[in-house]
A and B are shown apart, each in its own frame.
Chain A
Amino acid sequence: MSTLTREETESLIQEVLEVYPEKAKKDRAKHLAINDQSIEQSKKCITSNRKSLPGVMTIRGCAYAGSRGVVWGPVKDMIHISHGPVGCGQYSRAGRRNYYVGTTGVNTFAEMNFTSDFQEKDIVFGGDKKLAKIMNEIESLFPLHKGITVQSECPIGLIGDDIEAVSKKAAKELNKVVVPVRCEGFRGVSQSLGHHIANDAVRDWVLSNRDGQHFESTPYDVTIIGDYNIGGDAWASRIFLEEMGLRVIAQWSGDGTIAEMENTPKAKLNLLHCYRSMNYISRHMEEKYGIPWMEYNFFGPTKIEESLRRIAAFFDDSIKEGAERVIAKYKPMMEAVIAKYKPRLQGKRVMLYIGGLRPRHVIGAYEDLGMEVVGTGYEFGHNDDYDRTIKEMGNATLLYDDVTGFELEEFVKRIKPDLVGSGIKEKYIYQKMGIPFRQMHSWDYSGPYHGFDGFAIFARDMDMTLNNPCWGKQTPPWKAVKPAEEVKAAA
């Protein structure tokens, strides 16, 4: 099926909306749009960051997921207490594959689950005493930890525990950083507010800890902000930043440490990958410490080259040379990857529905492989995300915000993309529909996808999924219509 025209897309949206009751229809209509590159401001065509409708299937998370799971979770040498009932922490434990170096349980703790396991009596009498006790236990059981964060679950906000007071007291006693984070799940409409709250906690409790202290700096200090090292992404980015002559002094927060976070204000430039989850802290550092920040995109060689040149523009000629050297070094490698996979993937159409930065960032990587993204959407994006997306997407393609299970299914049925990239909750629906699917939250247990090395893996994975022989075997043999000659031969 060829690409839809603007009118066809419009009628597709109307058709899908038809099943909703009047009020729901009106609400959902605002979240579905047809891309128009001439629009400067996304709010003219799409509404985002609003509460999901009751009764529809949404795949959003909560503020706790945004703080504990995304921003704080990967900080490896801190212990993150899921303060509240046991489930929130246990069922989200180690699901995001934030890789790190260290011995888990000795000096790193990112894969472990620490919880205060609230019982009825804690709800009735308050959990502050329990929290204080937990912190002492942590200190005696895991003496090599570098700090503690308290990640509140819903009940904490409801019963009004004073986790700040407990944290301040514990910080003094343990002489370590203790950060209370008010990321109760009921706050906000999605995990997005959790990111913001976590950023504010970093700002209030961590960032200024080493102000005025001496730091051996170089003119080439940069930080990687908003790269969670999923499947090793941050490492794949870091190696060629270092190759071009920069010094990466901090990784936020994949494979990151509290010391790196505290040293971040000493950087010369903040490199921001996930705009959605970490722009708040970058903006704060720009204002308070005068550190410029810049968004970069390390998906696919075209975007990488563009980003490297823009990064180099902040520095002197030696870095600019370094950037060109790195680009030249990897060019033949990338050309080989494209030569191998492009013929196999050319012209294939992709629909995406992911969170954070990927709905717009991976478009370039698909285009490098000759593929086309025909629909994209954010789980929890805001207006500024869509502002940035409109320019990346082709005209008359679909944009959907916080799309419901039903809508996405209908869109896919009608548009019939060759590949769907979304999360684990969607994966098996589409695979059973016979449509190749990649899980784009944690790269389907593959990765890294960032950087030059990542692109080779990305291309291989897309090829592996799209050209898998299983898609031709959707009809069981006894239902397949046999060609006439074969039937004759059998008779």
Chain B
Amino acid sequence: MANIMIRKNDAGGLVFYLPKRDLEDNIASIEFDTPAKWGGELKLASGGTYYIEPQEAPARLPVSVRAKRVDAPE
């Protein structure tokens, strides 16, 4: 489990940031993206996958959440 921060970039896409590893990457897809259920598997542009517990969509970004590394080349 690691703390990650999700923010919006200038183009409006989601950006994944893992402070511990200074890993910054665009999020290619997010499993659930509705106001009531948000999160699930995050697919990164680099091909890695992280998982965040589905939750209510945050009122505003950026937001810090706990994430699990499912499959990421490290």
**Taking beta carbons and an 8 Å cutoff, which residues of A are in contact with B?**
40-41, 49, 280, 283, 286-287, 290, 382-384, 387
Contacts and interface: CB of A to CB of B under 8 A. Distances in A.
A280 B19 contact: yes
Given A40-B45, A40-B46, A41-B46, A287 B5 contact: yes
Nearest to A49: B22
B25 A41 contact: yes
Contacts of A283: 5, 7, 17, 19, 62
Contacts of B45: 40
Given A287-B62, A383-B22, 7 more contacts: A40-B46, A41-B25, A41-B46, A280-B19, A283-B7, A286-B62, A383-B23
Given A383-B23, A384-B24, A387-B24, A287 B64 contact: yes
User: What is the interface residue range for chain B against chain A?
Assistant: 10 to 19
Nearest to A286: B62
Nearest to A41: B46
B64 A383 contact: no
Interface string B54-68: 000000101110000
A467 B5 CA distance: 49
A40 B63 CA distance: 25
Interface of B: 5, 7, 17, 19, 21-25, 45-46, 60, 62-64
Contacts of B22: 49, 382-384
A206 B32 CA distance: 37
Contacts of B60: 290
Nearest to A287: B62
Nearest to A48: B22
B20 to A, nearest CB: 10
B59 to A, nearest CB: 10
A287 B17 CA distance: 12
Contacts of A383: 21-24
Contacts of A40: 45-46
18 contacts: A40-B45, A40-B46, A41-B46, A283-B17, A283-B19, A283-B62, A286-B7, A287-B7, A287-B62, A287-B63, A290-B60, A382-B22, A383-B21, A383-B22, A384-B22, A384-B23, A384-B24, A387-B24
Contacts of B64: 287
A40 B62 CA distance: 23
Contacts of A290: 60
A40 B46 CA distance: 8
A387 B62 CA distance: 21
Nearest to A387: B24
Nearest to A383: B22
A283 B22 CA distance: 12
B64 to A, nearest CB: 6
A443 to B, nearest CB: 27
A383 B25 CA distance: 11
Contacts of A280: 19
A381 to B, nearest CB: 9
Closest 5 CB pairs of A and B: A382-B22, A287-B62, A384-B24, A384-B22, A383-B22
Contacts of B19: 280, 283
Contacts of A41: 25, 46
A398 to B, nearest CB: 22
Nearest to B62: A287
Contacts of A382: 22
Nearest to B63: A287
A383 B23 CA distance: 7
B46 to A, nearest CB: 5
Contacts of B17: 283
A208 B64 CA distance: 18
Nearest to A290: B60
Contacts of B46: 40-41
B52 to A, nearest CB: 15
